[in-house]
Each structure stands twice: as structure tokens, then as C-alpha cells.
Structure 1
Amino acid sequence: MIYIVNAGDTVSSIARKTDVPVRKIVYDNELTDREQLVPGQALLVVPPGGEAGERGRLSVSGYAYPFIEPYILEQSYIALNELLIFSYGFTFEGDLVPPPQDDLWMIESAWKNGISPMLVLTPFSGGGFNNQLIKVIVENEEIQKKVMEELLFVVKDRGYAGVSVDFEYILPENKIQYAVFMGKLKELMNENGYKASVAVAPKTSAEQKGLLYEGMDYRLLGENADSVFLMTYEWGYTYGPPMAVAPINKVREVVEYAVTEIPAQKLVMGIPNYGYDWQLPYERGITRAITIGNEEAVSIAVENGAFIQFSDSSMSPWFTYQKAGMTHEVWFEDVRSIQAKLKLAEEYGLSGVGYWNLMRPFRANWLLLGKF
């Protein structure tokens, strides 16, 4: 069950009400101080022996960098089906660029726990997505062939289950060529017993304007990939005004459009494992929100005596607090908002959900997933 903390509640009193041991509530929710709660806080309360014995119906994937702390990654193993290792890049000459840290330990750890590790390919250059790299790979057949051959070699050599492509800011004139490239990659991978998936920006119509959207054709990419990861997050973002990172009403709009273009059984709905802390007043072009973990958000609320509220329209928790004479506004995810997203994925018969990213702890989330 999900228990919402009331004023005056303690972990001990909640344990008596729910007949769940204090130590289990503390452990499952990773409470740093078992007697320090905040009104409005959502706790996952699981009776002893009530944990999922196996993964749920929904397939679960998540991105992680090779420098992730092993204990944080291992938290997700009880729910995870696929590990997206971020990321390999490539040069303008078509040479594959491995991540700075060794990825082999993640690949081996994933297989050991029954999880499929996927190589993530990105057009990173100078710390960001470079659509000129995308332009080269989709327009130059020689470079394209070279990258795909190197990908196949690395997948075989390192022990990956396949390749997941995450290209963003694709030029509109490269839309068809990008989908064709995905089709060639899928064919190559499938012929050799591997998978090829693709991540797409959160569109709500085929004609949606903006560089993030115009280069992505949902229907063609759906036809040319084994699965499609909907990046349904970042409505609330670093430079934008305070709001939910993944408001359920906005996520629903994307899913409703996606299922008209792509079979539901191919779709993976993205979920953010993070939140943002904005200092007010918000000034466009000046204010920069700080990225925080979901458990970190609760700690901030506890430390500053905040009351956690819940938006029914976005199905997301939020609060404000005062520090050093300044007002802050925080939006994040908790088990209530996660549950709403999982129910949405089930409602539309999607194949699963995927997390950006696994780098921050959120044990209650992984326990909740076993129920879906």
C-alpha cells in the first residue's frame, strides 16, 4: 500500500497502523532518519513476504553510465529486464568511440542477474548531441556501413544483447534517411541474433514543429526498430519554469498519439528518476534549476520543514521551502506518481517502461514495479 504521512505521524506509529515492522518501512523507503518524516510524504508499505517474487508483466529498462555506483545499480535488478549502457559515440570518419569508463563489468553483472545489456549509440560531440554527426552517418553510406560493422563487432565481442539508438535534434531533411538507417541496423542486428531499438522525442502529432521533433517519423521508426522508447519527460527542465518533469496529462497525450503510429507492444514509456529544485522568482534565461534525486527531494523537505503537496492534474508531488531568505520550488517523483504512470502504460497495453536514469537510488520504485 501507499501511505501518505500525516502531521504527527512517526515511522513507529505507521508501523503499528499497518502491522509492518519499522525496520522494513525504513529499509524499503531508504529513510535516513526513521523518526523524521514530513506531512504529504508518500511511503511504500510492503508487508514482510509481500515483495514481488518475480518481475512484473511490464518490461522494465533503464539507462545508466558505467560510473554508476554498483549498489545503486543492483537496487534496480529486482525489476529490471534491460540495461541501457550509456553510451558509445562515433566520429565523422565512422570510428566507434567507447564510453570513458569500462562497460564490461555492467554487461557481465546484467547477464548474471538475467538482464539484457544494450549498447546505447549517441551522436555526442563536445558534451552534447551533434546533428552534423547524424547527417554524416545517414547520408554517407560508406561511413554508415563502417559504424554498423563496428557496432556488430563490439556487440559480439563485449557480450551485448543489441543496440539502442538515441539520436536527438535530427535535421528535418534527414528524417527519412534516419529511419532507413535504423532499418538497416535492425536487419543487421536481427540477422546475427541481436536487437535494435530506438529512442524518440515525445511527439503529440506528425506535424509537430521544433528541431527536437521534426526529424523523427514515429511510423517509419516503429517499422524499422524492434522497440521504441518514448522519452516522456523534461516538460519541467533545467531552464524552464517550475513544473512536473513528467506530468501525467502530457505523457498521456504522447502515448495516445504514439499508439496510432506504432504497435503498443513495441512501445516503452519513459519515466524520470529525478526532479528539479528551482529558486524563485523564475526568470527565463537566468534561472537554472538544480537536478536532484527523488529521495533527495524528500530529504530537502524534511530538512526545511516543508509540506509535500500533490498535483491531481499532473499526478506529481511538489513543495516550496525557504532557505537563506530565498523561496525554492521542487517537483519530483514518488511512488504515487510512478504508480499513475505504470497504470497508464498498462491502460494502453504498452510493452513496458524505461527509466532515465538509474544513477540515483529509489528502492521503493523498484519494489512497486513488481506489482505491475
Structure 2
Amino acid sequence: MQIYVVKENDTLDSISAAFMVSAEDIAYDNQIAAPYPLAVGQALLIPTDEENFQKREVYVNGYAYPYIRNEVLTETLPYLTTLSVFSYGFTPSGNLIPPKTDDSRLLHEAWQQGVAPVLVLTPFDESGMFNNYLISEITHNMTAQQNLIDQMFLVMEEKGFAGIDLDFEYILPEDRVAYADFVANVRAQASPKGYFVSVALAPKTSANQKGLLYEGKDYKLLGAAADSVLLMTYEWGYTYGPPMAVAPINKVREVVEYAVTEIPTEKIDLGIPNYGYDWTLPFVQGASKARTISNVEAVQIAIEHDAAIQFDQTAMSPYFRYEKDGLQHEVWFEDVRSLKEKFQLITEYGLRGMGYWQIMRLFRANWLLLADTFDLHRPIE
């Protein structure tokens, strides 16, 4: 595979001729719809006969809501090791709350394609909202904790889950050790049953980093407690923040550099965002709200408004500006160039693999680049 950046006056046919690759293959791999318009600065993945003989094996996880479109799910599963079903919640007494949409279809499709389904546990209450009180209660009330663990195992056995992912955020500093003990307790009871346990970690760059997102997450303790960890290396650019890259590689690298000092590299998965944001300018703190878009949609917006896509050499991320209805917009997203940078970081540090938040929107070029770069660890052959 090669990456080509579209220049002025390029057409799909001219690129096809230059690489001696069919225009249909380029269009399909990059999800370009007829009449095949292109944006200046757009990064295209070009299929070639060259084969990478020095691939290393990685674990690949994808998060999905139970209502994911079936055609997206079935096309994505061949590139995954595990499928994390988002999400189960719980009550203060430890009663498990299933997703509002039945997840049986996801588990069936996953096992059919040799992918291990994972039960994601998040502190969502009965209304489906995040509830910080639940974290304190379940980490300190051992009766409720054991009830939750028992109920998880019952559901996992009934439905066929292969593992558990603990996705707890905004843990209070005073619950730091208790939360790590909870993770360790889940793993101690899960391992004899053949289940694995992963834990999601906020993107810290030091042990004493301040902020509610960070203080309750102890990398060393959680790295020891779980079978694997996911570094949530995204959301620098986010819905309510100013325009910037969602996962700037310079910031991602800082997190990885700290993580490997606390956690064995063979336990670490790098978080990768499968989305971008469209901000209306000017940005006003407390008032502005970016719109979440797919990476494919971002390119379509650039084409529609004749905007040239730029590439930030520090963040190693694509972006552009356009005008609509008299208002300026700024868009940041991921393309095969930014993803290649993240793949190189995984290789450089010898990380276990990666986890995608989330796979609801198909980005075919990402999966093709992934398969060209790595060998996929499959739990079931």
C-alpha cells in the first residue's frame, strides 16, 4: 500500500494511470462515490502489489454500540481481535444494567467471524447517565461489589462474552487505591473462568497529574491489576473545546512515554479515534459545540465547499476551513497519514496493539492500512 496526496488538477483516472491501479479499486478502498470528486490535499490509500514481510502481531479492539449497522459490523470484524460492546451499567447495590438495545446480534456476529466479544462495564445508572457516586459505592461496598461480579459472570456465561473491559472515568482521588483493588478482584475471579480483564486509562503524562480525569487513575496499580490497558489517547480536540486535532501525535507520544515507565509494554493498547469534529467559528468557551463527523464525511465536506485539506506537521493530523451560510468552520479528522503515525508509534514502543473508539462509522482505508502494516492476533481460528 502507498499513500498519495491529491494535487491540483488530479482526477481519479489520472491517479489510476500514474500508479497503474484500477480507478475502481482506488475508489472502493477510499470510499469515493461517483462521480468520484477529490479534494486537494486528500490522502488516498493506493493498493499495490508490494507486500510487507516484516509485520508484527498486534491485538486490535473496537468499541461498538449494539445498534451498529450490520454492514459496518460485518466488514469491520475481520480486522478485530476483540469487540467491546458498549455498555453495561450497574446500580449502587451491584445489580447489572444491560444496554437498552439487545446486544445478542453483536455477540453472534463476533463469534461467527472468530472475534472475542467483550462486556464493557461503565458507571451508568438506570437512566443511562454517568454517575460518579456508583464508583465510590462499588469500590468500597464489598457486598455490592461481589454481587456485581457474580452478575457479570452470569451474563457472560449466558451470552458468551470472553472478557471484561472496565471503563470508569472521573474516579475521585480518594478512590484511587480502592478502584485498583476492585480491578484486581475482578481479574482474580475472572482468570480461573478463562476471562480476561482490560481497563481504560485517561491519558496521563505523569503520576501526579492534576484533574478529576487523572487523579483517580494510578497507572502502576492498574497496569498490575489488569491483563491489559487501553490508553485513551484522544479527545484533545473535543466537543466543547477549541478546534484542534483529536489525537495529535506529539501529545499521544507524551502519554505513551509515561505509560511505558509504569506498565509493561506487552499490556498496553493505544487508543485511536475513528472520528473528527466540525467547529463553527469563532469558538466561544462555554457556548460553542463541535459536531462529530466521520473521517469520510470530513473529506466530503471539503469537496462540497472546495476546501483544500492541510496537514499539521506537529500534530500530524489533517484539517481544513470552509465557509457555510456566512459562517467559518474548522474541521479536524483522521486520515491514512495520521493513522500511519500512530501505527509507527505502536511499533516503536512495542505496544500490545490498539483500541478504536469507536467503529460505528466505516473507514475502510484505515482497516486496509492496518492489515498491510500488522498481523492480527485472532483468538479463534
Q: TM-score, normalised by structure 1?
A: 0.97
CA deviation string 1:107-147 (max 9, x = no partner): 11111111111000000134442110011100100000000
Equivalent pair of 1:52/1:367 in contact (CA under 8 Å): no
* Counterpart position of 2:329: 328
* Counterpart position of 1:312: 313
Measure how far apart 1:288 and its partner are: 0.6
* Counterpart position of 2:188: 187
Worse overlay, 60-69 or 128-137: 128-137
CA deviation string 1:306-363 (max 9, x = no partner): 0000001000000000100110000000000000001001100000011000011100
* Counterpart position of 1:88: 88
Measure how far apart 1:77 and its partner are: 2.2
* Counterpart position of 2:227: 226
Measure how far apart 1:50 and its partner are: 6.5
Q: Which runs of 5+ in 2 are unaligned?
A: 375-381
CA distance in 1, matches of 2:19, 2:299: 21
* Counterpart position of 2:109: 109
Partner secondary structure for residue 38 of structure 2? coil
CA distance in 2, matches of 1:112, 1:72: 15
* Counterpart position of 2:120: 120
Equivalent pair of 1:56/1:79 in contact (CA under 8 Å): no
* Counterpart position of 2:279: 278
Partner secondary structure for residue 57 of structure 2? coil
Equivalent pair of 2:96/2:151 in contact (CA under 8 Å): yes
Partner secondary structure for residue 16 of structure 1? helix
Q: Which runs of 5+ in 1 are unaligned?
A: none
Distance change (3 Å), C-alpha of 1:353 and 1:347 = same
Q: Which amino acid aligns with 2:90?
A: F
CA distance in 1, matches of 2:128, 2:146: 25
* Counterpart position of 1:142: 143
Equivalent pair of 2:27/2:36 in contact (CA under 8 Å): no
Q: Which amino acid aligns with 1:2?
A: I
Equivalent pair of 2:89/2:128 in contact (CA under 8 Å): no
**Equivalent pairs, count:** 370
Q: Which amino acid aligns with 1:60?
A: V
Aligned counterparts, 1:1-372, within 5 A: 1-47=2-48, 57-125=57-125, 126-370=127-371, 371-372=373-374
CA deviation string 1:279-327 (max 9, x = no partner): 1111111111000000000000000000000001000000000100110
Measure how far apart 1:9 and its partner are: 0.6
CA distance in 2, matches of 1:143, 1:337: 44
Q: Which amino acid aligns with 2:86?
A: F
CA distance in 2, matches of 1:61, 1:34: 34
Worse overlay, 298-307 or 122-131: 122-131
Measure how far apart 1:212 and its partner are: 0.5
Measure how far apart 1:57 and its partner are: 1.8
CA deviation string 1:60-107 (max 9, x = no partner): 111000000011122222321111110111011211011111111111
Equivalent pair of 1:129/1:168 in contact (CA under 8 Å): no
Equivalent pair of 1:66/1:86 in contact (CA under 8 Å): yes
Measure how far apart 1:160 and its partner are: 0.6
Partner secondary structure for residue 287 of structure 2? coil
CA deviation string 1:225-284 (max 9, x = no partner): 000001000000001000000000000000000000000000000000000000111111
CA distance in 1, matches of 2:306, 2:181: 54
Q: Which amino acid aligns with 1:331?
A: W
Q: Which amino acid aligns with 1:144?
A: Q
Distance change (3 Å), C-alpha of 1:56 and 1:102 = farther
Measure how far apart 1:35 and its partner are: 2.9
Partner secondary structure for residue 345 of structure 1? helix
Partner secondary structure for residue 129 of structure 1? coil
Q: Which amino acid aligns with 2:342?
A: K
| Percentage of matched positions with identical amino acids | 55
CA distance in 2, matches of 1:116, 1:2: 31
Distance change (3 Å), C-alpha of 1:261 and 1:200 = same
CA distance in 2, matches of 1:128, 1:369: 34
Equivalent pair of 1:62/1:358 in contact (CA under 8 Å): yes
